[in-house]
Amino acid sequence: MKLDKYLWDKKINISILAVGYFIIVAMLVAFKAQNSLIIGITIVYIAVVVASFLIDFFRKKNFYDEFTANTEKLDKKYLVLEMLKEPEFYEGKILYDNLYEIDKSMAENVNKYNHSIEDFKEYIEMWIHEVKIPIASLVLMCHNHKGEIDEKYIKQIRRLDNYTDQVLYYIRSNYSENDYLIKEVGLNKAVGEVLIKNRDDLLENKINIQVDLNNYSVFTDSKWFQFILNQIINNSIKYKKAGVESIIKITASQTKDETTIEIFDNGIGIPRKDLKKVFNKSFTGENGRIGAKSTGMGLYIADRLCKKLGHRIEIESEQNVDGTSDSYTKVKIVFGRNDYLTLQNCNVK
């Protein structure tokens, strides 16, 4: 709060006080008052006016400066009232009381909104679970009658299965802490289950799978981890390079503090300009426009779940533009080592 702006705002009050002063002086002169009396009254009058304005200014300045400073520091601006003391001056009390009522009303509306969103999420999650039952049946029937059903129908059913998984995990990712269970997960078993799920696509696309995981284990949620792996492998299949032997190589390495699983493919690669945006929501990039097959949600959800689980996902890629290098994409998922959980697991055994 600045003094010059405060005084400009009080210009009407100051004008009235100035007019009042000149009326008083005029009356004193009319009644032939001594000059010393007029000077004395003038000094007292000015002192009283200046003091009243300064007291009012500094009282309001303390409140409004604190109000502004707290608002700037807060990420959630609507919580500013919690950091303010109720002011002593009347105008400030009116503002404070009205802010309280506004906050109260907003909190009630936000609670109603959150409840409606939660109800909608629960409904969608329930609906997806119900839908996945007939989809799973269709996938099984397609597998059992592979020679009798047109391949294009099988492809669409598999895509439908993958997209329903994406919706389910996207909804759950908003409150995944209520759903995941951290425990020791063997990489061989987790990767094996994902490869079995994608075996038809892998065989159909004649992709050579190479797995070397050294029997490592990590602490994660098996269900979430398999979904993340599935999104990465689906991308490797989707963006394979024509005219070469397609390879997906899955390896694991370990240091004192971290375990890393790496998924490598020799597909078409990712353009350098798109590489920093692949984890952005709904980002499809140049490759995603090929055949309009990409939603741009798979890696976004994978990255979001990794952050929730305390893991780190990284990606590097090269695209063969000038013919001087081979195209590839390499995705790494990094798990922190947890000696406490390992010790507890050993003690239980």
The pairing of strands 328-336 and 208-212 is unpaired
As a whole number of angstroms, the distance between CA 223 and CA 142 comes to 24
Reported as a single tens digit per residue, the pLDDT across 182-201 is 899 999 999 999 999 888 88
Q: Residue 335, exposed/middle/buried by CB under 10 A (0-12, 13-18, 19+)? A: buried
Reported as a single tens digit per residue, the pLDDT across 234-249 is 999 988 888 888 999 9
The answer, yes or no, to whether residue 347 has pLDDT greater than 50, is no
Q: Which of 280, 169, 262 is closest to 216 using CA atoms?
A: 262
For residue 118, give both structure tokens: 């939660």
Mean pLDDT across the chain: 83
The answer, yes or no, to whether residue 292 has pLDDT greater than 80, is no
The answer, yes or no, to whether residue 261 has pLDDT greater than 90, is yes
* Residue 248, helix vs strand vs coil: strand
What pLDDT does 161 receive?
85
The pairing of strands 258-265 and 328-336 is antiparallel
Greatest mean pLDDT range, 92-96, 196-200, 207-211, 274-278 = 207-211
What pLDDT does 190 receive?
94
Q: Residue 270, exposed/middle/buried by CB under 10 A (0-12, 13-18, 19+)? A: buried
As a whole number of angstroms, the distance between CA 241 and CA 236 comes to 9
Tell which wins on pLDDT, 63 or 339.
Answer: 63
Which residue, chain included where needed, has tokens 């129908």? 153
- Any residues with CB less than 8 A from the CB of 8 and at least 6 apart, and which? none
Reported as a single tens digit per residue, the pLDDT across 11-24 is 888 888 889 989 98
Q: What is the pTM of this model?
A: 0.65
The answer, yes or no, to whether residue 312 has pLDDT greater than 90, is yes
Q: Domain 181-348 - what CATH class? A: alpha beta
What pLDDT does 343 receive?
44
Reported as a single tens digit per residue, the pLDDT across 161-176 is 888 888 888 877 776 5
CA quadruple 253, 259, 265, 266: dihedral sign: negative
What pLDDT does 2 receive?
81
Q: Which of 259, 281, 275 is closest to 333 using CA atoms?
A: 259
Instruction: Report phi then psi at 84, rounded to 5.
Output: -110, 145
Long-range contacts of 249-255 (CB under 8 A, 24+ apart): 249/210, 249/211, 249/212, 250/191, 250/209, 250/210, 250/211, 250/212, 250/213, 251/211, 251/212, 251/213, 252/187, 252/212, 252/213, 252/214, 252/216, 253/214, 254/214, 254/216, 254/337
The answer, yes or no, to whether residue 43 has pLDDT greater than 80, is yes
DSSP characters over 157-190? HHHHHHHHHHHHHHHHGGGGGGT---EEEEHHHH
Domain spans in the chain, listed from the N-terminal domain onward? 3-85, 181-348
Mean pLDDT over residues 51-63, rounded?
85
The pairing of strands 208-212 and 183-186 is unpaired
Amino acid at 269: G
As a whole number of angstroms, the distance between CA 288 and CA 279 comes to 13
Tell which wins on pLDDT, 250 or 34.
Answer: 250
What does the DSSP 8-state code read for residue 212?
E
